[in-house]
Each structure stands twice: as C-alpha cells, then as structure tokens.
Amino acid sequence: MTSASLTADRYRGSVRVWYASETGSAAEWAADVAREACRRGFRVGGGGSARALDDIHTDSESDDGACALTSRCHYRYRNAPLPHPNVLQHPNTILVFVVSTTGQGEAPRNMRRWWRRVLNVKTTQLRIFESRQVAVVGLGDSAYPRFNWAAKKLARRLLNLGAMFVAEPAYADDQHPLGADHTLLEWAANFWPALDKLCPKLPLFVEPSRHILPSPAFTPLPPLYPVADSSSQTPLDNENNIDDDSNACANLNYATCKSNSRISAVNHFQDVRRISFEVSENTRYSPADILCIYPSNPPEEIVKVIDFFGWADIADKPFALVQNGDIKIPTTFPKNLTLRSALTHHLDIFGAPKRYFFELLSFFTPDVMHADKLREFASPAGQEELYTYCHRLRRTTFEVLMDFHSCKGRIPPAYLFDLIPPMRPRMYSISSAPQSTSGSNDNSSSNSNGNNGNAATVVVDITVGIVVYKTKMQKLREGVCSKMLARIKSGDRVWFRIDAGTLKIPKDPNVAVIFVAAGTGIAPMRSLLLARIQNGSSENILFAGFRGKKSDHLYGNEFEELQNVGKLSYFPAFSRDDPNKIVYIQHRMGEQAQLIWDILQLGGSIFVSGNAQRIPKAVDGALVEIFQKVGKMDEPAALEHLAKLEKSRQYQSECWV
C-alpha cells in the first residue's frame, strides 16, 4: 500500500473514525484517535474529526466504504438514488469504529439506522469491505451479561463482509481496576505501530511536537444576531430562567416540576424521590420509556468557577460558537451563549475529567512541574497514577483545576469547550403510565392543567435514588443531576427529551405478565403495570424486593390496593426486616414456582429490572431452578429453555449499574 494510492502526497494515508456513543465516552475516545491520526500525518475524513455512524448518510465526504455501504443499502432497500461514482474514490481509507453498548446489548441510538442497513446487506450481493483495513474498539461494562455486545457484533459483521483488521479488536471494561482507558491504551499501543507498517511515514514528514498547542475546536465570536441591551435583559444567573436564549437547550423541551416527594423513610440511608413533571400535551411516550434530563450546575458554584478562570468581567457577554472545520457543535447548544450560561447549563465541569483534559491543560500553566505532571497523567505510562489521583478519589474537573492552581486566570475562553465536555443527559425510566395523573391512587388516563390554568399538559413520573456518598478522602459527593432533582420544587423547569425504552409489553391484555424488580428498578415495572391496568388487564404478577416494609417499600400502598381490587398478585420481599431470615425476590419466586411455570408455558411474559450486578443473575438462577423442579429439566435443558425465552422476547430485562 503506497501513500499515493490513498491521498495527496502530503498525507501518508487516509483514516476515517466513526463512533457510536450513548453517554459520550466512545465519542471522546474516537476524538482521541482522530487527533492522534492527524498528528501522525494521516488525512482524517470528516474535517479531521470523528463522526457518529448515523451521520454517514448525511456526510458530504463520500470517501470510504462505510459511506458507500450506507448509500448502496439505501438504494437497495429505500429506493434512493445511486451514490456518486466517486463514492469509492479512496478505497484504501482505513476505518476505525469506536462503539459502546447500551441497555442489554443494544447498539447506541446514533448507530442504529446504519446498523440496520449493514444487517440488510447479503454477503453475496455486496462485499464492500472486501480486504478493507478496519479497526474496532468496544467500550462496555462486564457487570452486564452482554458485555460489549454491539462492538462484538459489528466486528463479526465486518469480517463477514470481507474486512481485515489492522489490530485485534479491543473490548474495554469499565470494571477494570484502571478503568476502560487501560484496555484502550493497550489497543492503541498495537494499532499505531501496525498502521505505521501499512502506511510508512513520508520521507519529509516530521511528527508535530506534543508541546504545541492545538487549535480550539470552536471559536467564540460576537453574536450572529443583535441582542437586547443588558439593561433590558433578565439577569443570566437566575437558576430558573431557562427561557433566556443563552440558557436554552436547543432541540429540547422543558418540563415543569409538579411535585417532588420523598417515598423512602426519612431515617432510611437512601433518599428516594418520586418526582412528577408536567410536559406539553403533544409529548408522547410509551410505558417504561426513558426520560433524559439535562441537569444544570448550581449557580453559586459557577461563581467560584468564573472567579478561577478570571472571567468575571466577560461572564455575561453574549457570543456565538462558530465551527472550525467539520467538528459539529453540540445540537443542544443555543445560538447565543454566555460563559456563565455555558458553565451553568451546557458544560459538565463537575464531572470526571478525561485524559485529553490533562494534555490540553498542560499548555496553560507556567509551572514546569505542573505541566510535566499533567502530561504524565495524559500519557499511557501515567494511567495508574492518574487512576490513583483522580478516578479512585472521584475528583471532579474543577477540583483538578484547583489543584493545578498555576493555571488560574490563564485559560483562554476559546478553549473552554475543548477542556470541558458537554453536559450529558441523565436517564431515568419513566414510572408512570402514558397520560396518567400523578396521584398515587388514580391510574386512569387523563390530562392535567398547566401552571397557567389553560394549557393542557401530560404528567410524567420518575423514581430517583439521590446519589450521595463520601470519597476515599471522606469528602461528601453528590451526583450532578440528582443534586439538582433533590432540590427541585413545584414550578421549576428542566430540559428533557424522551428516548424509547427497550421493554415492550404484550398487546393482548389477557396475556399474563410477571414483573420482577428490586429497589428503584420498580420504576419501569410500575409504568408497564399501570399501562396494562389501564387496558383492562388483571393478569399481573409482581415480585418486588426492598430492604424493609417501613424503610423503602416503594409504592407499596399502591400495589397492595391494586391487589385488594383484583388487578395484581403482589409478592414483596423484605431482606432486612427479619435479622434471622434474609428474604430476596428469588426466594419469593421459588415459593411461586408452579405459578411462574404455568404462566410461561401459556405464553406469558416476564420482565426484570434492577441492579445489573445482582438482579439478572439472581432471577436467572431462580428461573433455572423452577424449570428443573417443575418442568423436570436437567440443568443444560433449563439453561437452553431460558435462552429461548430471551430470544423470543418472552423474557425481557432492563438493568443498570
């Protein structure tokens, strides 16, 4: 392979980096790969940036096999025009895929359209990846049964379509003692030397120094449109002022808090909340869909951040972001921003810093020791020390900035959006039925009136366990979003979107359904249960696990009332009420073995929700025992029967860490 066959003579080769990411981790690692490829002298498609896989069909640069594959599949299955003849202009472009896994082995949302088209291609019809050099990197969590499922399926599919791997696929694990970065850096140590062999360096090429400050991704400029005089504007530090242009989240809607009540006992160790939101009557959702909430940072904390950066005089000056190259500005950013609104509503400065943060921050300190330490944290050799300093102690980005105080007042505003990642949404399973009121005893379909007394609204409930813990240094830490939700009150607004859930109940209300949940895993089960009751179903069985009847019996009164009126068979398990006898949900399931067997044999469904590290294993074990005891199966047959139930979607689960 020669450089001339790939690109113009000034490049040693061509690389295209694609990602599929749900929370942003895969996107960040893909950006690292793209940056490193540019630094090593490769032409990186997409304007030098990584792109989401579902962006392929809108990409203006049809220069690689992935684009060609999508275009031809689109023609084959959607009757779209054929791609331009130059779609394979650079057939030797090396494709890198960085893919995370979401839910129970599903592909991230920004990959699914492309993935469906890839699956529709028959090998005999189209070998677009024949001898194509590719690389696959997966990000996952081994606490989930289908660890790195999406990346593994992609790797197999690429092989089926004729691809060749530059380096062995890598499957990073969040549960690794050093985090996912450990595996990813090991992969990079193999990938780049392999790429050097495929695409030797050009004779006159000089690799840029890592001590040269890169250009910022976005450039803040004066506003594109006139803004009101500051004397007529509402102050931007008003935490509830989300209607202001600079505070707004583009392409999102807002929800108004209707009520926020604690549903666990005051003396219980965890504060569990039931929060009801009113949303527009045009909002539609299905049972157990996901409410994605975009949190805001506390304004009083942002004052400290602005003081550190030295931006007090310019914090409320409006500006607009302009793209550099082909790097996309996040779709949730509004047209006009201020530094204060960006830090409050749009940037995750109280989240965990990424490796690139340390590399970039090293350019803004005059302290040689600080600069060396920051570069060490960003290097492969410094990952164990980075883990000890940052991740083990759960340090936030702002805490790191405070530690490296020599950077104070020295960071240009233009680099803020490179240093701090966008605020990602936090996802909560909806715990109400579509169109239901928020009253605990009223599960009928209805609308509620909005705050103005005129506009009709829909009520959406979520069940939230407030995240509060102490770090290894005994410092109190609160989750960014749950901290906001714990303090939210009636009338406050939040930005949100609704994503489709993975749990789908049978359309026939007469089909019996078994629900199994533990703790806050009760949220999607309640949504599915109430939806079935609205449709006239009474064949509902619920196994629910809690610590105590008086401590965290979430929605217990509601479930007992439904049982009293014949709409539910309810089997709660309280693991801490009797110190002499610990009872878990698998024990309650064992007591009802015949009932569970009969329901599944008659085509009924079972739904499971809760902690991914404990619940799936416990429920699977209970089901296997039931199949052996009642169904008279040996263990291999019982395991095979369980797998068949999962494959047919009779058995569905939604669990999380």
Q: How many CA atoms lie within 13 A of 34 on its CB side?
A: 24
- pLDDT of residue 453 exceeding 70, the answer is no
| Better-predicted residue by pLDDT, 538 or 446 | 538
- Which residues 6+ apart lie within 8 Å of 221 measured at CB? 319, 320, 321, 322
The pLDDT of 276-304, averaged and rounded, is 95
Residues 35-85 pLDDT 10s: 899 888 899 987 778 999 988 754 444 445 455 444 433 323 333 332 332
pLDDT tens per residue across span 314-340 = 999 988 887 766 667 788 888 888 999
**Amino acid 5: pLDDT:** 41
Contact 400, 390 (CB under 8 A): yes
What DSSP letter does each residue of 221-264 carry, written as one string? ES-SS----GGGSPPTT-TT-TTSTTT--TT-EEEEEEEEEE-S
pLDDT > 50? residue 546: yes
What is the reported pLDDT for 286? 95
Q: Can you read off the two tokens belonging to residue 416?
A: 């803020």
- CA 148 to chain centroid: 14
Whether residue 204 contacts residue 49, with contact meaning beta carbons closer than 8 Å, is answered with no
How many angstroms separate the CA atoms of 596 and 585, rounded? 13
The 3-state DSSP class for residue 655 equals: strand
Helix axis angle for 593-601 and 615-629, nearest 10°, is: 90
Residues 6+ apart with CB under 8 A from 339: 306, 309, 311, 314, 315, 316, 317, 413, 416
Residue 291's pLDDT band (cuts 50, 70, 90): very high
Cα-based distances in Å from 43 to 6, 15, 132, 329 = 9, 6, 17, 21
Q: Mapped to the 3 state alphabet, what secondary structure does 602-652 carry?
A: CCCEEEEEEECCCHHHHHHHHHHHHHHHCCCCCHHHHHHHHHHHHHCCCEE
Question: How does residue 249 score in pLDDT terms, banded at 50, 70 and 90?
Answer: low
Mean pLDDT of all residues in 474-483: 88
Q: Do residues 113 and 57 touch, judged by C-beta distance below 8 A? A: yes
Which residue segments constitute the domains of the chain, with CATH numbers given?
Answer: 3-198 (3.40.50.360), 246-294+424-501 (2.40.30.10), 297-422 (1.20.990.10), 513-656 (3.40.50.80)
- 3-state secondary structure (DSSP) of residue 592: coil
* CA angle in degrees (0–180, nearest 5) for 12-31-147: 115
For residues 109 and 185, give the distance between their C-alpha atoms in angstroms, rounded to a whole number: 26
Contact 484, 296 (CB under 8 A): yes
Residue with tokens 């007469």: 510
What residues does 52 pair with on adjacent strands?
19
How, if at all, do strands 51-52 and 14-20 pair? parallel
Mode of pairing for the β-strands spanning 468-470 and 476-478 = antiparallel
Q: Which is more confidently placed, 239 or 482?
A: 482
- Tell me how far the alpha carbon of residue 606 is from its chain's centroid: 26
Q: Strand, helix or coil at 286?
A: coil
Q: Which two tokens stand for residue 533?
A: 């009751």
Residue with tokens 């991914």: 612
CA angle 350/354/355 to nearest 5° reads: 145
Give the span between the Cα atoms of 256 and 239, in whole angstroms: 14
* Furthest CA-CA distance within the chain: 82
CB 374 within 8 A of CB 358: yes
Residue ranges in 330-382 assigned as alpha helix (H): 339-341, 355-361, 368-378
| Three-class SS of 191-226 | HHHHHHHHCCCCCCCCCCCCCCCCCCCEEEECCCCC
pLDDT of residue 469: 85
Residue pLDDT, tens place only, 142-196: 888 789 999 999 999 999 888 999 999 999 998 888 888 889 999 999 999 999 9
Beta pairing class for 426-429 and 493-499: unpaired
Token pair for 106? 């599903």
pLDDT at 431 over 80: yes
Q: What is the DSSP letter of 389?
A: I
CB 103, CB 499: distance < 8 Å: no
Query: Which structure tokens are listed for 265?
Result: 């006992």
b/e per residue, 573-612, with b = 16+ CB within 10 A?
bbbebeeeeebbbbbbbeebbebbbebbeeebbbbbbbbb
Q: 568 vs 89, which has greater pLDDT?
A: 568
Q: What is the mean pLDDT of the chain?
A: 84
- Cβ contacts of residue 405 below 8 Å, gap of 6+? none
277/325: higher pLDDT:
277
